[in-house]
């Protein structure tokens, strides 16, 4: 019986044993010794030097004398032989009991020793030496040396031992003893027992010569040891092995170098799959765990697994991440010519790629991109850089028009207003308002504000899910704030469209022209036919119609159109040549003054609309008189009247001040000379609008 505690590398225990010993004397019979042994307290320290291969240890013990000082029991199995044992009332074993193993000592004894262990599975070789301190006169103080070899063969472990016991003082005690033992150890989870055959090689039991005691020298012995171990209060930990393979979910091919993380209670275990996609975790406590698997170009996998005793085989399938592309085309916002520019791509605000666009096409393609949030920055010397965001699913195409940096000091306006529902007049929040490349969202009251917009032509686009897209082009000539309230028309459940028919002709000759037609904010885009005609259908609303002539000698035009459901809107775009002149004869002024009379407004307003629709044109207002009056007077009068027409156009926001000038020529450029009639005078009194190029 015993109890103990072990905590690697230390072990302590206390045991009490009951012994039995039997022997046979040739010609005499069998004799039996039995009795309660002393209490032995043990301690042991083991230190591994080479993991699982080589170790050294130290142990000690104390024998506390509480056992019976048992004489050799002379109860013979054959009672007749008892008479043949001399000194039957004496203790031939010195009061210890037993022949080969002491049962009990009369005094406190203790021992110290060391051991060396070598193991190469399935064999283990042990060497041990012990020095026992006790009663020298009785042979209790001795050296003991042992060498053992054990083989692990399942529950049966055969072994062989060599033991040499050397008393310190042999004058009154036994001589040295050498024993050779061959045995088998049988082991179950709790029960253990040994059976062995022991052969003495040399010995001399008894303190005196054969003259005093009839010595017996057994040639061999058999002994049996039985042990039962109960681990009180300490449950046995059960373990299992996890063996898994990671494969491609589509073709079942193994995935090499996948990272595997097994989350235990107090730590995490990590591994990487081999060339066969395999990984193993050995000796994992039975239970439920979370395992994470990730591999390049695959969706990460997190799953819960149950580890049972023994082998646990798992197959894990990973799905590949779908890759996409981002195509970016960079061009000059004015000329539409492709640009050779630098493009930097970011993912989650981290730079992942940088390259140049193609010089001929202005395009660049980023391939093999995982779905997610991206942004990019386009840079080119002499142009304003542009930054945009993309939510990539499969593929995306972005058109980027770069704006040239102007040398002159820029002037700006602020655009503000309110966006409401066209039917209910209720404010619309979170509507996207875009003006000249800048965008914002309306607040809860439908209010929007966009600062720092450059003077000139401003294209406005407003969009909101559930509403028709709104677009308009306005002219901003003066710094300050422009208030633009916008009504969005809700989209009907079954949206209907209107038809737009566009006819493009020369303003003077009325001949058809080829041109590209587009509507900003929509996917409407096309080219007129040989008759200068192009038609399309679009939802109801107000739109800006861009007309870009194929013949670069004409100005492009932008027309505002109103589209109604089920109706056809006909647009005749009369394009003006870049060096054209428009003669205006029906402009009336007060006598000898530069004040424009109201009956002239319709003619000027018609020209105003033409100037608005030709936002890039640079024009000159020329004033001419007849020959009546002095040259000086006519020159001043013509200049004043030309300025009056120019100011009218600027005040009406027909054209920006930097694109219009006025010159008075007096009577220096008559159409008819000399005048012979009032009709001739009328032909010479005129205002001409001269187109002089683009800006």
What the block records as the tokens of 553 is 């000698």
What the block records as the tokens of 560 is 């505002």
Q: Which backbone phi and psi does 476 adopt, to 5 degrees?
A: -110, 115
**3-class DSSP assignment, residue 600:** helix
Of the candidates 196, 252, 191, the residue with the CA atom closest to the CA atom of residue 227: 191
- Residue 74's pLDDT is 39
What the block records as the tokens of 124 is 């283990």
Tell me the pLDDT tens digit for each residue of 107-166: 677 777 777 777 776 787 877 888 777 766 555 677 778 888 888 777 788 888 888 877
Q: Is the pLDDT of residue 476 over 60?
A: yes
DSSP-derived secondary structure letter, 323: P
Dihedral class, residue 286 (left if φ above 0, else alpha if ψ from -120 to 50, else beta)? beta
Homologous superfamily of 239-318: Immunoglobulins (2.60.40.10)
CATH 2.60.40.10 in the chain: give the residue spans: 239-318, 324-402, 412-488
Mean pLDDT of the chain: 81
State the DSSP string of 157-171: EEEEEEEEEEES--S
Tell me the pLDDT tens digit for each residue of 20-74: 666 555 555 555 656 677 777 877 787 777 665 777 877 787 877 775 544 443 3
One-letter-per-residue 3-state SS of 204-225: CCCCCCCCCCCCCCCCCEEEEE
The CA–CA distances, whole Å, from 407 to 239, 404, 410, 458, 599 equal 78, 9, 8, 20, 43
- Residue 229's pLDDT is 63
Q: Is the pLDDT of residue 467 over 50?
A: yes
Beta carbons of 346 and 326 less than 8 angstroms apart: no
Of the candidates 163, 168, 39, 42, the residue with the CA atom closest to the CA atom of residue 104: 39
Q: Picking from 23-37, 349-363, 582-596, 635-649, which range would have the lowest pLDDT averaged per residue?
A: 23-37
- Residue 237's pLDDT is 78
654 or 80: whose pLDDT is higher? 654
Q: Is the pLDDT of residue 18 over 60?
A: yes
What the block records as the tokens of 224 is 């049996």
Task: State in Å, rounded, how far the first CA of the chain is from the last one.
Answer: 110
Query: Between the ranges 28-37, 91-100, 153-162, 541-550, where is the mean pLDDT highest?
Result: 541-550
In residues, how long is the chain?
A: 695
According to DSSP H, which parts of 442-560 are helical? Answer: none
CATH 2.60.40.1120 in the chain: give the residue spans: 498-575
Q: Which backbone phi and psi does 420 adopt, to 5 degrees?
A: -130, 165
Q: Is the pLDDT of residue 214 over 50?
A: no
Residues of the chain with pLDDT > 90: what percent? 28
- Residue 95's pLDDT is 40
Q: What's the alpha-carbon Rg for the chain, to the nearest Å? A: 56
**3-class DSSP assignment, residue 637:** helix
Place of tokens 């043990």: 42
Q: Is the pLDDT of residue 218 over 90?
A: no
674 or 232: whose pLDDT is higher? 674
Q: 215: exposed, middle or buried (C-beta count within 10 Å: 0-12, 13-18, 19+)?
A: middle
Strands (E), 26-176: 29-50, 54-64, 109-120, 123-133, 142-151, 156-167
Tell me the pLDDT tens digit for each residue of 271-312: 899 999 899 998 888 989 899 999 888 888 898 889 998 889
- Residue 523's pLDDT is 92
In CATH, what number does 581-694 get? 3.30.1330.60
626 or 492: whose pLDDT is higher? 626
CATH 3.30.1330.60 in the chain: give the residue spans: 581-694
Pairing of β 480-483 and β 412-421: parallel
Calpha distance 644→148 (Å, rounded) = 125
- Residue 488's pLDDT is 93
Q: Picking from 32-41, 328-337, 384-393, which range would have the lowest pLDDT averaged per residue?
A: 32-41
Homologous superfamily of 498-575: Carboxypeptidase-like, regulatory domain (2.60.40.1120)
Q: Work out the number of other CB atoms within 10 angstroms of the CB of residue 645.
A: 24
Q: 134: exposed, middle or buried (C-beta count within 10 Å: 0-12, 13-18, 19+)?
A: buried
pTM confidence score: 0.34
Q: Domain 412-488: which topology?
A: Immunoglobulin-like (2.60.40)
CA atoms within 13 A on the CB side of 260: 28
Q: Is the pLDDT of residue 6 over 70?
A: no
Q: Picking from 89-98, 272-281, 522-531, which range would have the lowest pLDDT averaged per residue?
A: 89-98
Calpha distance 640→664 (Å, rounded) = 7
Q: Is the pLDDT of residue 227 over 70?
A: no
Pairing of β 395-402 and β 324-332: parallel
Q: Work out the number of other CB atoms within 10 angstroms of the CB of residue 642.
A: 23
Q: If pLDDT is split at 50, 70 and 90, which confidence band does 589 have?
A: confident
Tell me the pLDDT tens digit for each residue of 397-420: 889 888 888 766 567 889 999 999
The CA–CA distances, whole Å, from 457 to 412, 431, 654, 656 equal 12, 22, 11, 9
Q: 575: exposed, middle or buried (C-beta count within 10 Å: 0-12, 13-18, 19+)?
A: buried
Class of domain 2-228: mainly beta
Beta carbons of 584 and 621 less than 8 angstroms apart: no
Helix-strand-coil split of the chain, %, nearest 5: 10, 55, 40
The domain 324-402 having CATH identifier 2.60.40.10: the answer here is: yes
Q: Picking from 200-204, 268-272, 371-375, 585-589, which range would have the lowest pLDDT averaged per residue?
A: 200-204
Cα 585 to chain centroid distance, Å, stands at: 73
Tell me the pLDDT tens digit for each residue of 639-684: 998 999 999 999 988 999 999 999 999 888 888 888 888 888 777 8
């Amino acid at each position: 019986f015993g109890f103990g505690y072990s905590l690697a590398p230390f072990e302590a225990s206390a045991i009490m044993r009951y012994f039995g010993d039997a022997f046979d004397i040739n010609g005499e019979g069998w004799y039996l010794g039995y009795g309660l042994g002393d209490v032995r307290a043990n301690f042991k320290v083991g230190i591994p030097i080479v993991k699982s291969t080589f170790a050294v240890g130290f142990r000690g013990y104390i024998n506390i004398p509480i056992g019976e000082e048992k004489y050799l029991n002379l109860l013979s199995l054959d009672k007749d032989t008892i008479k043949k044992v001399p000194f039957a009332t004496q203790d031939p074993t010195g009061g210890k009991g037993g022949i080969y193993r002491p049962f009990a000592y009369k005094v406190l004894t203790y021992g110290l020793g060391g051991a060396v262990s070598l193991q190469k599975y399935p064999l283990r070789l042990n060497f041990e030496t012990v020095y026992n301190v006790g009663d020298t006169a009785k042979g209790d103080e001795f050296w003991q040396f042992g060498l053992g070899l054990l083989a692990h063969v399942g529950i049966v472990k055969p072994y062989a031992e060599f033991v040499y016991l050397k008393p310190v003082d042999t004058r009154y005690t036994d001589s040295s003893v050498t024993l050779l033992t061959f045995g088998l150890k049988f082991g179950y989870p709790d029960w253990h027992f040994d059976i062995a055959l022991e052969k003495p090689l040399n010995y001399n039991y008894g303190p005196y010569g054969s003259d005093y005691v009839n010595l017996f020298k057994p040639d061999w012995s058999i002994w049996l040891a039985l042990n039962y171990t109960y681990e009180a209060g300490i449950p046995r930990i059960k373990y299992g092995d996890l063996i898994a393979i990671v494969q491609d979910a589509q073709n079942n091919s193994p995935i090499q170098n996948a990272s595997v993380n097994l989350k235990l209670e107090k730590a995490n275990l990590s591994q990487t799959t081999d060339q066969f996609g395999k990984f193993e975790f050995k000796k994992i406590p039975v239970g439920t765990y979370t395992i994470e698997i990730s591999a390049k170009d695959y969706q990460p996998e997190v799953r819960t697994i149950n580890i049972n005793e023994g082998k646990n085989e798992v197959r894990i399938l990973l799905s590949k991440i779908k890759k996409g592309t981002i195509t970016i085309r960079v061009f000059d916002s004015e000329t539409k010519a492709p640009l050779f520019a630098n493009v930097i791509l970011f993912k989650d605000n981290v730079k992942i790629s940088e390259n140049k666009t193609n010089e001929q096409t202005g395009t660049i393609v980023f391939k093999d991109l995982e779905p997610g949030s991206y942004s990019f920055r386009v840079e080119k010397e002499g142009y304003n850089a542009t930054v945009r965001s993309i939510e990539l699913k499969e593929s995306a195409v972005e058109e980027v028009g770069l704006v040239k940096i102007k040398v002159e000091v820029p002037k700006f306006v602020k655009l503000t207003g309110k966006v409401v529902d066209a039917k209910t007049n209720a404010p619309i929040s979170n509507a996207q308002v875009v003006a000249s490349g800048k965008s914002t969202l309306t607040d809860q009251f439908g209010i929007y504000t966009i600062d720092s917009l450059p003077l000139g032509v401003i294209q406005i686009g407003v969009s909101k899910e559930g509403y028709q897209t709104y677009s308009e082009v306005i002219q901003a000539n003066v710094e300050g704030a422009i208030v633009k309230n916008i009504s969005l028309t809700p989209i009907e459940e079954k949206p209907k469209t209107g038809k737009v028919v566009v006819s493009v002709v020369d303003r003077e000759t009325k001949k058809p022209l080829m041109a590209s037609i587009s509507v900003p904010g929509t996917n409407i885009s096309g080219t007129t036919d040989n008759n200068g005609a192009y038609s399309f259908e679009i939802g109801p609303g107000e739109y800006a119609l861009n007309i870009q002539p194929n013949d670069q000698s004409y100005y492009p035009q932008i027309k505002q159109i109103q589209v109604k459901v089920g109706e056809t809107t006909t647009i005749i775009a009369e394009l003006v040549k870049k060096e054209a002149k428009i003669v205006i004869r029906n402009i009336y002024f007060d006598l000898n003054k530069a004040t424009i009379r109201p009956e002239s407004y319709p003619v000027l307003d018609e020209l105003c609309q033409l100037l608005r629709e030709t936002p890039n044109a640079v024009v000159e207002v020329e004033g001419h008189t007849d020959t009546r009056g002095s040259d000086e007077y006519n020159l001043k009068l013509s200049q004043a009247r030309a300025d009056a027409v120019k100011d009218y156009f600027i005040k009406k926001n027909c054209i920006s001040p930097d694109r219009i000038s006025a010159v008075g020529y007096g009577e220096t450029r008559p159409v008819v000379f000399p005048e012979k009639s009032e009709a001739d005078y009328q032909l010479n009194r005129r205002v001409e609008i001269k187109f002089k190029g683009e800006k």
